[in-house]
Amino acid sequence: MTKHFSKWAKRQNIHKLEIQKALNEVENGVYEADLGGHIIKKRIRFPNRGKSGSGRVIICYKYGDRAIFLHGFAKNDKGNLSSKELHALKEFGKVLLLLSENKLNAAIINGDLIEV
């Protein structure tokens, strides 16, 4: 996950187990929308609010390779991403998918990306 996403998840009190559960569902093909360019939207449960008080997470996902949680938002704060936001996330996703294993590991060591 990105540092940006990690900070958002902490503010929402989303435990890493909930993030892992969302990732497992994605790996099994369970998510709300494929936004193109290896960007997907997944519903995530906020603690003590149930799915109706849930949020959405945006994940850069390439099957069998990597999944990086990029962005999150509360459903009641925002309905969807703007076309400008989606374009920026797709471009960011392209960069992340092109990272070699060494560069990916370096980003984790530097704290730019956080492993779940």
Per-residue pLDDT in tens (0 to 9) along the chain, 116 residues: 999 999 999 999 998 999 999 999 999 999 999 999 999 999 998 877 655 668 899 999 999 899 999 999 987 777 788 999 999 999 999 999 999 999 999 999 999 999 88
Residue 49 placed within a domain: yes
User: Rounded to whole angstroms, what are the CA distances from 114 to 32, 65, 69, 83, 96?
Assistant: 24, 16, 9, 27, 13
Count of the separate structural domains present in the chain: 1
> Does the global pTM surpass 0.85?
yes
**Domain range spanning residue 66?**
3-110
- Whether 116 is covered by a domain: the verdict is no
